[in-house]
Amino acid sequence: MGYKVVVAGATGNVGREMLNILAEREFPVDEIAALASRKSLGTEVSFGDKTLKTQDLDTFDFTGWDMALFAVGSDATKIYAPKAARAGCVVIDNSSLYRYDPEVPLVVPEVNAEAVDGYAKKNIIANPNCSTAQMVVALKPLHERAKIKRVVVSTYQSVSGAGKAGIDELWDQTKGMYVPGQEVDPKKFTKQIAFNVIPHIDVFMEDGSTKEEWKMVAETKKILDKSIKVTATCVRVPVFVGHSEAINIEFEDFLDEDEARDILREAPGVMVIDKRENGGYVTPVECVGDYATFISRIRQDGTIDNGLNLWCVSDNLRKGAALNAVQIAETLGNRCLKKG
């Protein structure tokens, strides 16, 4: 026996990637339904070697379905996730709506798989923010060895994190720079994104940080350890896919860079590419389509007693969203539902 699985938001970047990864990882599916908004009704999407026609999320009956992977944004999730959960279908939600709800587990399986066990309170499990997911995968094994006190992170986030509109704007603006009369003004982003970087993701908070930065702080504390101090600066860069992070870590105990490298090499979900030579590191271009969180540039920080620096890169549509959701589904099946 396998699972009856729903993918809501199946025509979007993340929804399509969810279907791809379910097929790639041979998730035990008995039946699958691809849901979309009414305007996308009937659109065809791929699931392995099959083609699925999207059904209407608004009228879909979740009764008898085991899991629903949601990639529809917070507004639609607020309407349809409780409906699915009440029908007995466990929702794995990619939006930010439930991440900070104390009754909803926020899960990165390599870090806190056991949190999945609390799913039954609301029949909902939250997927973290893309930039948080890859960072905590890197931090967890180091935290177990030397206990992290403080993290300073600067992100370099691709435009696909802002959806199809973000990808289109970078593409069109870049073309427009070279073709007179085809210039494109900023619409999705607050300033020109082509050949530029924008230190602003999501809305501004009262303290001057952005909500994206606040998410990284709150989610790291919920997933990994509430005692860790985190400060973040989140920047949008003209890259189509793949988020990068420069991470500075202060530990309670000394951790040598060589030991850190060995620990990370053995850590689940991590791939270390760290040669001190030209090209001996990973950039977003190389990470696209891969499951791993890549770590490079591991080195001591001599300005503090117990400090390390590292460079962290991952495909934000995969580990930052769709892959993590499928891994949660796998963990839920193995630990709790136990079918397939």
Binding residues for NADP(+): 11-14, 39-40, 160-161, 316
User: Which residue type is seen at 107?
Assistant: V
Whole-number Å distance between alpha carbons of 44 and 225: 42
Catalytic residue among 89, 143, 234, 243: 243
Catalytic residue among 130, 234, 287, 312: 130
Cβ–Cβ under 8 Å, residues 126 and 325: no
Please report, in range form, the residues annotated as the binding site for substrate: 157, 236
Active site residue 243: yes
- What are the residues whose beta carbons fall under 8 Å from the beta carbon of 321, sequence distance 6 or more? 14, 17, 71, 94, 127, 130, 133
Provide the 3-class DSSP secondary structure of residue 7.
strand
Cβ–Cβ under 8 Å, residues 247 and 138: yes
Active site residue 143: no
Whole-number Å distance between alpha carbons of 305 and 249: 11
Whole-number Å distance between alpha carbons of 324 and 197: 27
Token digits of residue 15: 């929804």
Please report, in range form, the residues annotated as the binding site for phosphate: 99
Whole-number Å distance between alpha carbons of 128 and 2: 26
Cβ–Cβ under 8 Å, residues 240 and 159: yes
Cβ–Cβ under 8 Å, residues 167 and 240: yes
Active site residues: 130, 243
